[in-house]
Structure 1
Amino acid sequence: MKRFVIVVAGLVALAAGLGPVLHVYWSDHWGPDFNEAALAYDIGDYETAMDNYLPFAEDGTGKNNLIAMFNVALMYEKGQGVAQDNDTAEMWFMRAAELGHVESQNRLGHAYENGDWGTKDFDWALLWYGMAADQDDVSAQASLARMYLNSLQSDAPNPDHLPKAVIWLQRAVDGHDARSEAALAYLYETGNGVPLNPERAFKLYRRAAKQSIPFAQNKLANIYYAGELVPRDYTLARRYFTFAAEQQETAAQISLAQMYAWGEGTPRDLVKAYMWLSVADALGNPAAKARLMNVEQQMTPDQISTGDDLSRKCQGKTLMRC
């Protein structure tokens, strides 16, 4: 078995160095081959990949044909093996999307939502996300919900968008999308678009927090800290504040700093409080600066110097294990 693995690895390495040769050999001897297209793409021989994918993209509506259309579109979008051309990429994405290819539908939705090709179009984004969502694609369902929710912040919000957002959030939650769980939890917490239901919100926040969604972790920490919906638990509050803080949730960083400054569920530690407030300030939370100055007034110069060192180290390792 080891010898077989070594031989295969050697062949792949050899193929990577013989891209141009393979390009000529495959074209002259075998013609288009779907599997060879994938191998050629993996080793960076994009011309061979395009030569093998394009005939499949141009002829047929089967699974491999749709995958080929999508890959041809990606290669035009990225300029791999061909000149970069967003118009041609869009054409191939649309051809595959119209035939039901979910990944192409999502790519079109994302492009029109964000203006990736120069033009934002809310309605077109909804159309393509909707086609994927109707095929039970959870990512598209979450994207639809997000778009409807974000539209409520516009200058002319459409009141019909909130119930639509709730419908798609619930569909995405049924598909175990963690961000949708956090968003739906917030609606239940505030009674916005759904009946006020703190207990339901707590359960959804807890599910999303376990999947490392920082907004949900911060919300869950606040629930344990307040001790109104569940018994107060400073240990769990600090744990979830820490999880969120390490993912750049600045509100959690400020709350965690407060727990250290006041010695809540942990020995009082002004240096760690100073460190987290410095991080939150560096990340642009306007509430951090005044609190930082207040903590600093209670510290010695040596403590401040230590706090500055810890803050730099913490940011240098992207806030993990601070």
Structure 2
Amino acid sequence: MAAALAAAREGAERGDAAAQYKLGMIYLNGQGIKQDRDEASKWLQKAAEQGSADAQEALGLINAPRPNYGGDPSQAIAWFRLAAAQGKAQSQFFLAMLLTKQGQNDDGREWLRKAAAQNYAPAETMLGSQLLGTGKEEDRPEAIALLTKAAAQNELLAQVALGTCYEKGLGVTQDYAQAATLYQRAALANNSNALLALARLYDNGQGVPKDAAKAEQLRSQAITLQ
């Protein structure tokens, strides 16, 4: 780590953007050195100003709001937008989330589509869910296609949403067995919504054998996770 730090610092000080990004991340993560977010931001900004999409994305993440931290949404949007314009799918997704929270739904939807076009599962899940939420019949085929792609990438929220579609027959032929399969996949990863949905199927004997004890076990498991 000492050698890596020395090499990154030497490259960063001579203006190499990749080294500046690496040094910034070393400080950000406290790798072999005391964590220092200010020093991290300084070097990341130098790299970002030279066009490093990785550094731009890192600065977006540093400034993005999260639980117990208000962040700086305007700065996060600015950095994510730069990285997104260079094709960073994760930045496109986070930019879409922030824009949507600010009520800029059309702009957010456009960036979601760009991220989904790169098979970025969280974007496929969010876009698919949004399209389902419109309640329009014509939006359902695209929504199902997106959720199916995301579910195949083990995106838990997509598995639950797609399971709900099969359980209720939304945009697909009602298929309790398929719903149960999707819920089971997410339940194995301890998704509480999947556990509760699967419990409902066991209660009713839909797609799985009727089993009140199994249903109660799943509900108890879900409660412990909440």
Q: TM-score, normalised by structure 1?
A: 0.65
- Higher mean Cα deviation, 48-57 or 88-97? 48-57
Tell me what 2:112 maps to: 169
How far 1:83 moved relative to its partner? 4.3
Equivalent position SS for 2:64: helix
> Of 4, 7, 11, which aligns to 1:56?
11
Q: Which amino acid aligns with 2:112?
A: L
Matches within 5 A, 1:126-275: 126-149=77-100, 151=101, 158-159=102-103, 161-191=104-134, 197-275=139-217
Deviation sequence 1:201-234 (CA, Å, 0-9, x none): 1111111111111111111112212235322222
Q: TM-score, normalised by structure 2?
A: 0.90
> Of 281, 284, 308, which aligns to 2:223?
281
Distance 1:250 1:79, change over 3 A: closer
Equivalent position SS for 1:197: helix
Q: Which amino acid aligns with 1:95?
A: K
How far 1:50 moved relative to its partner? 2.2
**In 2, Cα distance between equivalents of 1:74 and 1:173:** 27
How far 1:260 moved relative to its partner? 1.1
Deviation sequence 1:222-277 (CA, Å, 0-9, x none): 22122353222221111001112223332221121111122122222122111110
**In 1, Cα distance between equivalents of 2:149 and 2:74:** 32
Distance 1:280 1:53, change over 3 A: same
**In 2, Cα distance between equivalents of 1:66 and 1:88:** 15
Distance 1:140 1:228, change over 3 A: closer
Larger relative CO (CA 8 A, sep 6+): 1 or 2?
2
Tell me what 2:52 maps to: 101
Distance 1:232 1:99, change over 3 A: same
Structure 2 segments unaligned to the other structure (5+ residues): none
Q: Which amino acid aligns with 2:14?
A: D
Distance 1:228 1:164, change over 3 A: closer
**In 2, Cα distance between equivalents of 1:191 and 1:207:** 20
Tell me what 1:299 maps to: none
Identity of aligned residues (%): 29
Tell me what 1:301 maps to: none
How far 1:80 moved relative to its partner? 4.0
**In 2, Cα distance between equivalents of 1:101 and 1:266:** 51
CA contact (8 A) 1:145 1:164 kept: yes
Distance 1:67 1:263, change over 3 A: same
**In 2, Cα distance between equivalents of 1:266 and 1:195:** 29
Cα RMSD of the aligned pairs, angstroms, is 2.2
The 4+ residue runs of structure 1 with deviation greater than 6 A are none
Distance 1:195 1:258, change over 3 A: closer
Bigger radius of gyration among the two: 1
